[in-house]
Structure 1
């Protein structure tokens, strides 16, 4: 079986380390060859894939004109893993935020966005700093004497995911594009430091209406205005790097895992999301589960063992012993526009048109846009 790889391109996890290297934070290298700056901001546009930006460049002429490179986001191509890549400078095999939902051994399947048991929403006794114990890029910046600011939605200020991957930053909560732009520019005007800003509404509309839909395109236009405002307001010597955490596809072929008996035999737990599934097998059942999923899904998905996925580099160049069990014994990654929904267990997620998580270029590749005053 020919498996896709995520090697051969620069990785999303290199963005913040490259920025911090330009600001003099020790232990980081400027692998992206970013220009030197007296201060810098990384703006992450959730859900803005490179293919989507290229296809709809007329709606985002500023972003399209500033794009200097294309990065890969690694596997899984989800917000949780992307935010962790920004927040640790590492790929999933090391930071361990293994997807939208994944099993933490001995604790159950965690919905990492809601920090609740999945499915069902029950409480899990999981400390964010223990689920992701590695130092964050924000902590390392502050330790080196570089100020670190996080500008994102106010409702996420004290969330467990923020604690897991963005701790150490001075969190400044905002409510809309207007104060996101204003607060980001304020942070850039402060003495030399690092600012991370996040915009999530493009992803939300892509999920609900589909990427490329009229609503999505109108939001892309607003995102471009946001970037234009930041570029126009950049203080002297400051750098702006705009990236994304993943792209998106619109599903046109699905299987309901809750109504597929052949895919439940020997399965202890299911994680992931509709585009990539972690399949946790009962003891001794992994080989049978792998065979059943391969036979049932056929050419609609890459279905591999955990060992095969690791060998193919899906989770980065290194997978630690702490993290390895969080990936399924079997991983099913959707091809084309296929989805593996769970209409009973995951009604909200299963109703969404736009999805991401797998290894197609539409999901994997994101733009890197650069501006410097």
Structure 2
């Protein structure tokens, strides 16, 4: 079993060790410094019953706003000070707040991370365990980002959100995002509670988020921007398109910070970081063209850097052995029980049967600059430049940047 982690005071304190086995996988900081700990910490400071302030250095505020920038990890901000001068200025404590990395959770991907943010629970508890996982009731893969095929949301993720609990406790609660997301199942199970306000432009979202923050004596407001991530997937982080989005979201963050009402705190974070993967055979291993990796596999889930592998009944041990032999120099490869006991998805004790059965018989997490594509099964995803999902610092570490009024 992997050793329990300690909270990183800086990015340098949370490094990717030499890959010598499962115990070297750098665990997310569940319970002290992960995305799942952020909203409960803020809500505890507002007096919401049942919430625990796990991120102990955050001081309570009556009005809290979380601005989540999809795909913008800690390392990406550090590496682009010219494009993100405002966000860069918040990396230190020079503005009187905290500027530190926290961890996304595993897998470091949008559906899992938004589930952790909204419910205040790790993936092992809320059950959104990646991009695609097998639905034990149907035997088919279920895409948890696009919610296809349809699955009853409250059966798939039954836990209440922090927003709903805060709203019930009398906190003014609101989400400000694209109208596209208002009625999606992922929003319902991860981010609902209070009032949803749809606005198309980033500028409108920042202005409305600030206004909603001022609406209550105690307020909890969430706002979101997705285009940094989508441009990273499509063009990569060396592209003008990605850098342009970073420049724009930097201005959005500053615009929101300048409008904070009294007794307010703004927390800027992300759901994961990102890494660009070259288009060559060494960096992109095609599952659909590799007979060894396909042998004994019934379904391939997850995504390129964090795979759930579902074996044909009776072939689980053989599949694990082959995947370790073929990929062991580039991936952490664990059986289901090993990944659970190691704490990849959260503390082992919070995994119930509902969630356990969704985890792959084999779980493979990349530690090198490599992905497992599926050119036939996943043609669109296989063409992406920027990827994420695993436990390396560039994917796991997300910013926790604070501005106070």
- Length-normalised TM-score, structure 2: 0.88
Structure 1 residue 334: Cα displacement: 1.3
Structure 1 residue 5: Cα displacement: 2.8
Superposition pairs of residues 141-290 of structure 1, within 5 angstroms:
141-191=166-216, 192-252=218-278, 253-290=283-320
SS at 2:353 equivalent: coil
Match of 1:48 in 2: 72
SS at 1:299 equivalent: coil
Q: Which segment drifts farther, 347-356 or 178-187?
A: 178-187
Cα distance in 2, alignment partners of residues 343 and 201 from structure 1: 25
Question: Does residue 25 of structure 1 match 2:48?
Answer: yes
> Which of the numbers 66, 86, 94 marks the counterpart of 2:90?
66
What whole-Å deviation, never above 9, does each CA across 1:89-115 have from its counterpart, x for those lacking one? 011000100011111202221111111
SS at 1:303 equivalent: strand
SS at 1:323 equivalent: helix
Question: Does residue 39 of structure 1 match 2:77?
Answer: no
What whole-Å deviation, never above 9, does each CA across 1:131-181 have from its counterpart, x for those lacking one? 000111111111111121011110111011111212223111111212111
Structure 1 residue 321: Cα displacement: 2.1
Structure 1 residue 7: Cα displacement: 4.5
SS at 2:345 equivalent: coil
What whole-Å deviation, never above 9, does each CA across 1:28-83 have from its counterpart, x for those lacking one? 12222322222110110111111111111222121122231110111100000110
Give the total of aligned pairs. 366
Question: Does residue 5 of structure 1 match 2:26?
Answer: yes
Cα distance in 1, alignment partners of residues 297 and 132 from structure 2: 16
Cα distance in 2, alignment partners of residues 46 and 316 from structure 1: 22
Cα distance in 2, alignment partners of residues 44 and 98 from structure 1: 19
Cα distance in 1, alignment partners of residues 104 and 90 from structure 2: 19
Match of 1:329 in 2: 361
Q: What RMSD in Å do the two structures reach over aligned CA positions?
A: 1.3
Question: Does residue 298 of structure 1 match 2:319?
Answer: no
SS at 2:302 equivalent: strand
> Which of the numbers 142, 146, 154 marks the counterpart of 1:110?
142
- Length-normalised TM-score, structure 1: 0.95
SS at 1:368 equivalent: strand
| Higher strand residue share | 1
Counterpart contact for 1:3–1:312, Cα < 8 Å: no
Unaligned runs of 5+ in 1: 118-123
Cα distance in 1, alignment partners of residues 290 and 335 from structure 2: 20
What whole-Å deviation, never above 9, does each CA across 1:7-33 have from its counterpart, x for those lacking one? 456111111111111211111122223
SS at 1:277 equivalent: strand
